[in-house]
């Protein structure tokens, strides 16, 4: 089944790429200026008042822990290690600027689920939901603790199922969570 799914995804990607190649000459006449996007530049940073990347590291520095990469994982690790061990010198190294890659290209949503677990047992689904919900709770607590000027809302999500079997399975997971 997985190989069939992979083959279908590959075919869809090839079709999309072909359509883009066909459509672009037409779009080029309609929109003569092509929008270029730097895939490594965070769209959020430009709207963040007062954020200035620190200058490049020069010379020698010493650290008890050096973390390479300033995305979600690197910054989170640096933050929590520094809080737990304030006497330790933690250095976060990033080639460009914080949230430069995929971490800066997110949609800004805090989701309480992990995709790819459609066939999960109700017990596993409840655990996954609990872990992701705890992550959201922790992030909101961090925002409040540091009085960060972040405008966030916890107003839920919408999931749409076009397949009756998946809708029934999702309903069963919700029932199990609420039991």
Q: How confident is residue 85, by pLDDT bands cut at 50, 70 and 90?
A: very high
Q: Would you state the pLDDT for residue 67?
A: 96
Residue 27 has a CB neighbour count (10 Å cut-off) of 11
SS in 3 state form for 142-160? Answer: HHHHCCCCCCCCCCCCCCC
Cα–Cα distance, 79 to 175 (Å, whole number): 37
Query: What pairs with residue 134 in β-bridges?
Result: none
Averaged pLDDT, 18-46:
58
Q: Over the stretch 117-137, which tens digit does the pLDDT of each residue have?
A: 665 688 888 888 898 899 999
The residue among 95 and 40 whose pLDDT is bigger is 95
Top-confidence residue, 63 or 159: 63
Q: How many CB atoms lie within 10 A of CB 78?
A: 19
Report how far Cα 162 is from the mean position of its chain's Cα atoms.
25
Contacts for 135 with CB less than 8 Å, ≥ 6 apart: 110
CB contact set of 72 (below 8 Å; sequence gap of 6+)? 99, 103
Per-residue model confidence (pLDDT) at position 62 = 95
CA distance 101 to 38: 10
User: CB 179: neighbour CB atoms within 10 A?
Assistant: 7
């Amino acid at each position: 089944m997985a190989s069939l799914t992979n083959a279908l995804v590959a075919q869809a990607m090839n079709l999309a790429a072909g359509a883009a190649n066909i459509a672009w000459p037409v779009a080029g006449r309609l929109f003569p200026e092509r929008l270029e996007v730097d895939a490594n530049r965070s769209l959020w940073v430009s709207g963040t008042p007062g954020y200035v990347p620190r200058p490049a590291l020069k010379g020698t520095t010493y650290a008890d822990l050096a973390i390479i990469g300033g995305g979600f994982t690197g910054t989170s690790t640096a933050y929590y290690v520094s809080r737990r061990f304030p006497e330790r010198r933690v250095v976060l190294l990033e080639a460009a600027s914080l949230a430069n890659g995929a971490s800066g290209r997110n949609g800004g949503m805090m989701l309480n689920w992990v995709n790819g677990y459609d066939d999960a047992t109700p017990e596993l689904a409840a655990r996954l939901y609990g872990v992701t919900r705890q992550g959201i709770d922790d992030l909101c607590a961090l925002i409040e603790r540091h009085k960060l000027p972040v405008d966030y809302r916890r107003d839920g999500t919408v999931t749409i199922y076009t397949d009756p079997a998946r809708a029934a399975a999702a309903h069963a997971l919700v029932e199990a969570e609420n039991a």
